[in-house]
Amino acid sequence: MPEKFPDRPEPFWRTKALDSMSDAEWESLCDGCARCCLVKLEDEDTGDVHYTDIGCRLLDGASCRCRDYPNRQALVPDCVKLTPQTVRGLGWLPPTCAYRLVDEGKDLPWWHPLVSGRPETVHEAGISVRDRVHAGEDDLPAEHFVDRLVRWPMRAPRKARKPPAL
């Protein structure tokens, strides 16, 4: 349970629903992991979505950020813009995703930059795709995508479960 300080207000993600957040609050929820920027394949028979270790054509694998965030949907037509409504309908959002966590009434983990105060903790905890992207989607023929299926984006690594000892 998070520590309570009577003289300090609760952080916005504990008191506001996704629908009530300002644009700045909404954008700050993104921890920069880029898991959602990995290419996903849907099984036509079951509807199950499977992650690959292939990055979107706009993903910068080192920074884990979009190279053209303002224009991403024009440049990548299947890029999903997260809204409170889409968050509720996307079963493929990683369990570590702050949008998903807040929507489910859960708190942000220790490594989230809003909690830690440092953007690097998402990488230090092993949550981000940094050093885990095999290729960009333009670097491989689409028929090879199925060879790059991975399960880790739907899991939290052990080192992310507990904050490091101080």
Is 156 in contact with 95 (CB distance < 8 Å)? yes
In a domain, residue 45? The reply is yes
Percent of the chain with pLDDT over 90: 87
Residue 63 gets the label, from left (phi > 0), alpha (psi -120 to 50) or beta, of alpha
* Type of residue found at 113: P
In a domain, residue 81? The reply is yes
* Structural domain total, the chain: 1
| Domain that residue 100 falls in | 16-154
In a domain, residue 113? The reply is yes
pLDDT value at residue 164: 77
Label residue 75 exposed, middle or buried (CB < 10 Å: 0-12, 13-18, 19+): middle
* E strand or H helix at 40: strand 38-42
Is 160 in contact with 96 (CB distance < 8 Å)? yes
pLDDT digit string, tens, across residues 19-72 = 999 999 999 999 999 999 999 999 999 999 999 999 999 999 999 999 999 999
Q: Which residue has tokens 């008191």?
A: 15
In a domain, residue 7? The reply is no
Dihedral sign, Cα of residue 155, residue 93, residue 124, residue 10: negative
In a domain, residue 161? The reply is no
In a domain, residue 2? The reply is no
